[in-house]
Structure 1
Amino acid sequence: MKIGYARVSTADQNCNYQVDKLREAGCEKVLVEKESGKSKYRPELTRLLDIIRNGDTVVVYKLDRLGRSLKDLIALLDSFKEAEVQFISLSESIDTTTSTGKLIFNVIGAIAEFERDIIVERTKAGLEAARARGRKGGRKQKLSDKQVKLAKSMLQDPSVLKSDVAKHFGISRPTLNRYLDSAPDLEQNSLF
């Protein structure tokens, strides 16, 4: 079955032209979405993904009607491929039922994979450069070793509450407890 998907960004816009082109292309069913492409909430796209079956063909008027971004589009096209669903974009002449369309689809997929690999390489290189300069990854420490020792000495006084010490350092009580637990060299005499 050929299933068409048409989308306009707002409820005010008209998608009759898209619907007409999808019907001309032989779509038996056309789902019409009136949501921004940037919106994650697209109920008709969700419905499309629920109703497609092995051997179906999804048809759109233009690629940008389907995906929010290249990454989103690639993910959708990959899900179609896994479900053995064909894909046609009328404006860009992409048709995975043909060998040329499959080639274009695979080129798009290869470019997306290349882009992901480049991002991973850049991230690794950035982390290595930071380590070479003596920087560690992760969240910045909220308390220095000196501050932890000061907190422990403050808690030597039984009248001092942990919540007051935490407030003094601008951290939560659970955070203070984590620091105290990780540096057990001083005794904690506070009952609170």
Structure 2
Amino acid sequence: MAENVSMIGYIRVSKTDGRQVHDLQRDALIAAGVHPERIYQDSISGAREYRPGLNACLAVLAPGDTLVIWKLDRLGRSLRYLVQTVCELTARGIGLKVLTGEGAMIGTTTASGRLMFGIFAALAEFERELIVERTRAGVAAAQTRGKHSGMRFEMTPKKLRLLQKAMSKREKFVLDFVAEIGILKATAHRYVGRDGKLRPTAMRVLEIKGAGEGSLP
């Protein structure tokens, strides 16, 4: 197949000790028409948010380009992260092509692929709504038992660090985070402002926990 300069590839393996290699993925991308010099790679877990190869790949993509990956899980392990990434690529005019696996039917370069991605995105939204609904139900149940019953929520420096990162992103990520740790959004805003800055209540937590002063690490 002829190489297409508008196609940029990304490959990833989880192991960094040499027990996993990129060859299978690289060969598949080259066979699909991606130039070898336009393939970015990582040797890191898909659960890690910082992946230098992927970050460089996303930065170089331009409108009209197509991101080519071997399997959908090479791009990320979280359903919400995958949907977010693909939506951002689509907004930039960048297509996605998955070569194999169940995700091969999901993409943005064909009408059928866009339809499948729409279903994919709907499932991610459904998953988020279930988390929020379960959290609200749990809070309501706790309130009916009395404010002193149940497990007391404790804010920690680690939770503050995650909350601060969530607050700097879109509103739905704040809802996801507060649902996962079992607090209300109003509680989250008592610790971190909408601009991501720590409030005095957060600073007191850091002082008590001995996490230092100023911004979080």
> What range is the shorter-chain TM-score in?
0.5 to 0.7
Equivalent in the alignment of 1:161? none
2:96 counterpart residue number: 87
Larger Rg: 1
Residue ranges of structure 2 left out of the alignment (5+ in a row): 1-5, 155-204, 209-217
Query: What does residue 22 of structure 1 align with?
Result: 29
Mapped partners of 2:56, 2:64: distance in 1: 17
Task: Trace 1:100-119 onto structure 2 (pairs within 5 A).
Answer: 100-119=112-131
Identity %: 41
CA RMSD of aligned residues (A): 2.3
Equivalent residue, structure 2, for 1:44: 53
Aligned letter for 2:13? V
- Given that 1:67 and 1:76 are in contact with CA atoms closer than 8 Å, whether structure 2 keeps it comes out as no
Structure 2: distance between partners of 1:63 and 1:98:
16
Matched residue of 2:45: which SS? coil
Q: Structure 1: how far apart are the matches of 2:131 and 2:92?
A: 28
Q: Does 1:6 align with 2:11?
A: yes
Please name the residue that 2:132 is paired with.
120
Higher mean C-alpha deviation, range 96-105 or range 36-45: 36-45
Instruction: Output the CA distance in 1 between the equivalents of 2:124 and 2:57.
Output: 23
Q: Displacement, 1:89?
A: 0.6
| Residue aligning to 1:180 | none
- Unpaired runs of 5+ residues, structure 1, are 141-171, 176-192
2:7 is aligned with what amino acid? K
Distance (whole Å) between structure 1 residues aligned to residue 14 and residue 62 of structure 2: 27
Q: In the TM superposition, what is the alpha-carbon distance from 1:68 to its structure 2 partner?
A: 2.6
Structure 2 residue aligned with 1:35: 44
- Any idea what SS the aligned residue of 2:42 has? strand
| Count of residues in Structure 1 that have an aligned counterpart in Structure 2 | 143
Instruction: Report the 3-state secondary structure (helix = DSSP H, G, I; strand = E; otherwise coil) of the residue aligned with 1:121.
Output: helix
The C-alpha deviation readout for 1:94-134, integer Å capped at 9, x for no partner, is: 33111110011111100000111111111111111111222
Contact 1:38 1:68 in 2 (8 A): yes
* Distance in 2 (alpha carbons) for counterparts of 1:32 and 1:45: 7
Distance 1:122 1:95 in 2: 31
Report the CA distance between 1:40 and its aligned residue.
2.4
Kept in 2: contact 1:2–1:56 (CA 8 A): yes
Distance 1:72 1:43 in 2: 16
Secondary structure in 1 matching 2:33? coil
